[in-house]
Amino acid sequence: MLRGILRSQSSQWTKGFRQTVRQYSSSKSSDIADKAVESAFKSSATWKNVPVEEKRDIFYNASKLLKERREELVKLTNQEVGIPSLFAGFFVDDAVDFMTTMGDLVTNSGYGQFLPPVKGRQPIVVREPIGPVFGIVPWNAPTILGLRAAACPLAAGCSVVVKTSEYTPLTQRLTLQTLTDAGVPEGVVNILEVPLEDSPAVVEQVISDFRIRKVNFTGSGRVGAIVAGLAGTHLKPILLELGGKAAAIVDETADFETAARNIVLGAWANSGQICMSTERIFVTKEAADGFNKAITKVSHEELNQDYLQCRQISPVNSKRIEQLAKDAVSKGATSIVNGIPKAKDGDVSKSILTNVSQDSELFDSETFAPLAFFNIVDSVDQAIDLVNSSKFGLNSSVWTADTAKGIEIARKINSGTVHINGNTVFDHGSVPHGGVKNSGFGRFNGQWGIDEFTVIKTITYPV
């Protein structure tokens, strides 16, 4: 029996998957949610008091198990949401590395410091686990994003309730099952699988429960705003990792071929269904001819590559993208490859546009689709202004032969992360990840991601 993982028996996704989860007689999602929260609450002190050396070994064990289950996880990801094996494998590899990184860092959790004595007292400032955490995870990188929502709080000493995506329950169940198989005590990790129609009520129920002390959410800005509103109503701190409109700036000194290959990959990988996907490219006028030739060549070469053949998960979004593209074309945009995006059979075709007007809705709407555009600008300063005009601020990139100049540009960009001569789609468990503005707040990963799930306590004694 899988320890500490709960599921709603009304879930439509459990048929055919090995039944190793804890079962309850009630089929009501609200009852299951309450049991999950109760389980996390009761086990909170147990996990908090597990020695850090033991936690470290559990994280290392989980990393090994994920590696052993790679093939099965890749297969499940492909079956559930059609993500090509190459990228599904990347997500598992990221999860393996992530657990190793958390194992390396967990022995630092709960660190503190002595402050100078004041008013005859010696202050000590320590970090302690905030308490049970509720994580809500998306489908588009199901292994790493499902794991991250649990692993950062666990490394801080918190128990968790994780609501998996309705699109990838099997992948995320097996991913999170790895934690208990690696040795996390019973009741510490609790999974909620509920039907789509029950999700809003269950999310509100769990967030409003006094036993839950923090929320983390990864997903769209629209849903993120709702979740944040619920958290605010109930005075719960929240970590939000939301959508993006990742931009690339290309100057005249850049290696155009390398920049173009990374930009096309960043735009089309996983059918653009990545929060870090490259959607906007601003090219200085001196670089325009060289970059135009490079991206036209590269985009035609990559268009039909097997590893980039991934479907849109939402037919509604496909139709939205077609309308956004038509609006942009009506205001002067043109396509450099594959014509204007068209929605067909629930999917949408890849494209790269140029000369997209700021009056177009596409200019600052996250597409979550294989569609990017590049515009020519008079200067790098103008490019920076256009990047910063967006309501989003998750990831960006700068392409230049001058690293010092790249760092200077990066410091001026309002974005959670800026990669110099690198793809906007980049993440690692040791590097803080998160956005600014409408892309969210707070950080996953590394010590920063662990600290998110702690509170600061001050202790004093007389001296």
Q: Which residues are catalytic?
A: 241
Reported for 303-310, long-range contacts at CB under 8 A and 24+ positions apart, including other chains, are 303/337, 303/338, 303/350, 306/84, 307/84, 307/86, 307/87, 308/84, 308/265, 308/268, 308/269, 308/350, 308/370, 309/84, 310/82, 310/83, 310/84, 310/87, 310/269, 310/270, 310/271, 310/273
Q: How far is CA 112 from CA 126, 127, 267, 455, in A?
A: 4, 6, 43, 11
Q: Residue by residue, what is the 3-state secondary structure of 180-220?
A: HHCCCCCCCEEEECCCHHHHHHHHHHHHHCCCCCEEEEECC
Spatial separation of the C-alpha atoms in residues 165 and 34, rounded to whole Å: 19
CA-CA-CA-CA torsion for 148, 150, 156, 161, nearest 10 degrees?
Answer: 150
433 Cβ contact partners less than 8 Å away, ≥ 6 residues apart: 241, 416, 417, 427, 443, 444, 445, 449
Report the half-sphere exposure of 391 (CA within 13 A, side-chain side). Answer: 10
Structure tokens at 302: 């990559």
CA angle (40, 38, 18) in 5-degree steps: 70
Spatial separation of the C-alpha atoms in residues 200 and 417, rounded to whole Å: 31
Spatial separation of the C-alpha atoms in residues 77 and 93, rounded to whole Å: 13
